[in-house]
Structure 1
């Protein structure tokens, strides 16, 4: 049963506290005769039917509380059911005992859904109801005392119900109400705040672990980039230089042709090695803001693709989480690569928009577009883009029709939201 509260410490605290208070109310109703009881001198605990009735009602109440605390949002009709059931509990306790008994149950559960000022208003209302009801329907207890006056003679004295002083009785029940409500809410508030603090600490620890892991990944990428640059790139550059020298020294057309082919192959390898180095190392973002980095990326892409690219900035630029900025850059790289290889487009529009708590990236081309099967299959690197966006807690959409181009839209938060936090609740 407690599995539903594993990652929800606030709900768990409310459930435990409601159970303890409900047990207290149950014991009170088992030991104190109700107003409608035929024999006020006997306690309900002596009557099996009364015990069964009260225990069943307590179990039903707690099951409703657990149902109310389950994960997810409550619909309007569920809220109405909870309110009606809570009112029923108050009415039953008011009719048979005193309204103050509901203070250990109703406000505790209400605190999970409502802010503290609203709950305090509910407490004040129940306190006023207790004071008024204590005068109208006083709950009197009969106390039986046995006194031994001499060793051979005993006398039993039974106190009869004494007519209650309205002012004294009102003051007494108001005092009990304030004491009971104050204890319940104060203790619950401490538990809730401790649970929230513990939950925030656990979330921070997970984020630190994720940040440390990402830092390790970036460090490994930079190491690989240095290795590629120091080995493959340098080797390809050396091969190109030597082949160009050999081409100038030899006069045979066949030899020149072979050397030219080898040179072109070496240059392609060098370009690929440089592309890998540039893709692995995010130095393009070091020292410059993201909009400027995207503009540099588009300028470089135009020079190698012979396609026009336009950049539009909307909103006021501001620093984002490094992983968000790097992901936006990588997504743009992948999208431009797709346009170059598959779209046959003449123009690409890249729009970066800064909103409140969000950043949007839209990439639109006027190419041949994609059919629905290709768009939904996750080809052309779309699956990796979608997975990257969803891993950060963002949204990815793709609109494309054959002959009408393609629109790729990405929405990301300012800070990464790990998957285990998306859709979470207290």
Structure 2
């Protein structure tokens, strides 16, 4: 819609500038559309302006340099129209700019004022040519400029022409801009609503998971600890009876084993959903594919070595580090391509995340994300290194020692 409306706007001005010669220093013999050079550069300028408008009305924040560039382009367009054509074409751009800061009713008053200004300018500097005179020249364009009738011979026609064009151009530009602004605001509102829904859904999911964990802890670990306390108190009260005290101590020991077993089961249950019923390489590949779709950055996954099941804590740790690294690339790297490599060695598992972005300044920046990843890796007995140079991208390397994966039978017997 933005492209279509912008093209219609520019087509209106382009058609006028192709049919009506600019105010020349010499007497012209051809209309602009009859001159290939004039036609080519006008078409090129119209296409360039269409690109600028579409870029200017895109959703998102604007930097200071973008505002400065837009102002510079606007001043250049107004100056060219004022120099080569009647000023009402340039003045017609005023509602376009004013609508960004003023309400619609105020801009409508500006349009009416521009119409009146066109009438005043018609009396101050008569129009050199009308559409009837232009079209009467025919395709040959061999009528001399000086031989054409002047608007002084047709004052009513000149006045009507100015009023009509002034109102038509200003009103059409305003209407089109209003449609553009509404579409851009609707897209921004849709994007803001989508982000809010995602945040709300994420918070609801976190709250629901916390409540579920609270119930699980209350029904398992809390009950087990309460049973241990009761059994130990009973053993203390029966300290004079060794048989009864030993019985209560054994009950407390059994409750502690069951509580530890429940804690282990909860650790297994807290595995990320993406790791459910799938291997770590498959989970990382799915993570990278989803990230590529969301970010628009090309990505590649590489697997080396012989894949095998790892301890759950290792798999969760590698997955979380990969998620954080990809998030950092999306937010800060301005990269065009990213690579995630997972390597299985005899006693180590390695993971590298590399991008071709702008790099880190400095490479050892102590941001919370990097610190969190490093602490997670070191807690698992591994190492993490970050290599980066400005403009040459960043490589994050993680190495973790392999230690045995506990089986459910081992969990039950703990």
Q: Please give the TM-score of this superposition, normalised by the length of structure 2.
A: 0.47
